[in-house]
Structure 1
Amino acid sequence: MEETKSSHGFAADFIETELRGTVAIIRLNRPELRNAINDQMRQELISAFEWADRDATIRAVILTGAGKGFCSGGDIGGMRDRLEAPQGDVAFNGWKRQKQTHRGVAVIHGCTKPVIAAMNGSAFGLGLDMAMACDFIVAVEGATMSMSFLKRGLVSDGGGMYFLPRRVGLPCAKELILSGRVVAADEALSIGLVDRVVAPDTLIDAACTWAEELTQGSAASVALTKSILDKTFESTDEEIFALGRQAQAICYTTTDHRASVEAFLAKMGNKD
């Protein structure tokens, strides 16, 4: 697959982007700190996903990390700043930072295109939350992951308490969160925490191949399907049916639908 650098129109110190065909690769790029997330990196990540979602030539997105780790979680510098901040500022500063954290997770989860986390190494705390915000997770053999928040006297703040029960079930999610234990890739696959495990040297190629398989449909039908499926567990059957009716009405009007129907009818006509 031909690899080209993208021109995304924004400067980034801690995020790299590239294109492989119609697949955008967004790479966390602080390898010396196992891609720990700081405030600047979080903002750059949001900008990168907004670019990928906006660009009509991009059909899928892969989120991965540079170096040996996917993401070790939040930057320890933020923890240090919190300890040193005046007591009266801690809560409000934390609230503002949480808003940005949740915006970063939301832009991943809400992307209109299929998003695959290519877990190239360890994913701890917020790093694992971000991976679970993606539609799918491909991990390398030997990758480890942990919901490590309680070990720091914290709760999962990046959506893990929403995403994890949907992946592994509620009792298993409680066990993983309350224990904070480290899970290896093979166990993660067996419990549904990750979807596929591959050799390290095949990770990005495997993710790109899967991304192409997931984007055979029109951009509109893929985006609308994703948006409805993401609401399935919070909605009644009638609510999902109503969303489906609205989405289908939109699909009826698209150029892709008209072209595919005309091609199908022409093919059937040739068989007569």
Structure 2
Amino acid sequence: MAEFVSLSRLGSDDASGPGRGVAVLRIARPPMNLFDTQLIREIAAAAAACGADPAIAALVVYGDERVFGAGDDLAELAELPAEQAAAMAADLQAALNCLAAVPQPTVAAISGYALGAGLELALGADRRIIGDNAKLGFPQIDAGLIPLAGIRRLSLLIGPGPAKDLVYSGRFVEPDEAARLGLVDQVVAPDDVLGAAIDWARRFVDGPARALAAAKAVFEAGPHGHERARTEWAQLFATEDQRIGTRSYLRDGPGSAVFTGR
């Protein structure tokens, strides 16, 4: 059993609804959801469980009304020997990128602070929805460190110049600037963050799961996206959803297909 992470599933219409649904991964390491190695690994394990569950159509990641993740647990890092850091860096980096490895669409619902490793985790989501009370940033530089998993994603998302500014300065970003930079996709009232994220995730409950996973795999392939797209596109012709989708589109137009996820 995880100590700091819970995973619950909402049905297609409500908490007890039938069929595929939305999962909500909640982070709760009070008081500030600081990311230590245990929390990072628990999040990654929960994300992997979600990715392996065909009943889950999309994943929402949320902290609480005050904080998503307030940064790295410096008390742990201050005592970490260099040899141990070298041995665990690859595993922690992969764990912080866990949302990108989930085949379903993912959305980070951020209210309050998303700093350091918390923001690095959110960068791996397909969408970021924040409250207008959010404060984002990568303050690791002020501790003599750098983001372990977020620099490349940040640079691809907002461009190398703005990314260097945020990483080198360690400064906080307010919601308006975050939206202007493209660091986040939507800004809402703090009380609406989780609901807005669930609403976005519900769009995929009746969607073609295999095609969505294929599209995500191509996005994640980076410079090899063209080659990955050929493979994923061809493999979709062996799926039931492709046959259902193309024939329904021809017969009744877009939005008419009832997909099976197979």
Residue 214 of structure 1: how far off its partner (Å): 4.8
Give the alignment's Cα RMSD to 1 decimal. 1.7
Q: Which residue is equivalent to 1:86?
A: none
Does 1:247 find its partner at 2:232?
A: yes
Structure 2 gaps of 5+ residues are 12-20, 254-262
TM-score for both structures, normalised by structure 1:
0.84
Show the counterpart of 1:153.
144
Q: Find the counterpart in structure 2 of residue 191 from structure 1.
A: 181
Q: Provide the C-alpha distance between the structure 2 equivalents of 1:182 and 1:43, rounded to a whole number of angstroms.
A: 26
Inter-partner Cα distance in structure 1 for 2:241 and 2:116: 41
Give 1:213 shift: 2.5
Corresponding residue of 1:176: 166
Aligned to 1:27: 26
Corresponding residue of 1:107 = 98
Per-residue deviation at 1:39? Answer: 2.2
After superposing the two structures, state which structure 1 stretch, 255-264 or 204-213, moved more: 255-264
- Structure 1 residue runs of 5 or longer lacking an equivalent are 1-10, 83-89
The answer for the alignment partner of 1:6 in structure 2 is none
Maintained 8 Å contact 2:113/2:134: yes
1:204: which partner in 2? 194
What is the one-letter code of the residue matched to 1:110?
A
Partner of 1:68: 66
Q: Give the partner amino acid of 2:141.
A: L
The count of residues paired between Structure 1 and Structure 2 equals 244
The residue that corresponds to 1:167 in the other structure is 157
| Structure with larger Rg | 1
Aligned partner letter, 2:143: R
Structure 1 residue 266: Cα displacement: 4.5
Distance 1:215 1:228, change over 3 A: farther
Q: CA deviation at 1:215?
A: 5.5
**Does structure 1 residue 213 correspond to structure 2 residue 203?**
yes
Cα 1:96/1:73, change in 2 over 3 Å: farther
Using the alignment, how far apart are the partners of 1:184 and 1:224 within structure 2? 34
User: Distance between the aligned counterparts of 2:112 and 2:129, measured in 1?
Assistant: 11
1:58 Cα deviation from its structure 2 partner:
0.3
Match of 1:59 in 2: 57
- CA, structure 1 residues 70+193, in 2 after alignment: closer, same or farther (shift >3 Å)? same
Instruction: Confirm whether residue 259 of structure 1 aligns to residue 249 of structure 2.
Output: no
Return closer, same or farther for 1:147/1:194 CA change in 2, 3 Å cut-off.
same
Q: TM-score under structure 2 normalisation?
A: 0.87
State the match for 2:6 in structure 1: 16
Describe how 1:33-48 pairs up with structure 2 within 5 A: 34-48=32-46
Asked if 2 retains the 8 angstrom alpha-carbon contact of 1:24 and 1:52, the reply is yes
Which of the numbers 207, 211, 214 marks the counterpart of 1:224? 214
Alignment check: 8 A CA contact 1:31 1:69 kept: no
Report the AA paired with residue 79 of structure 1.
L
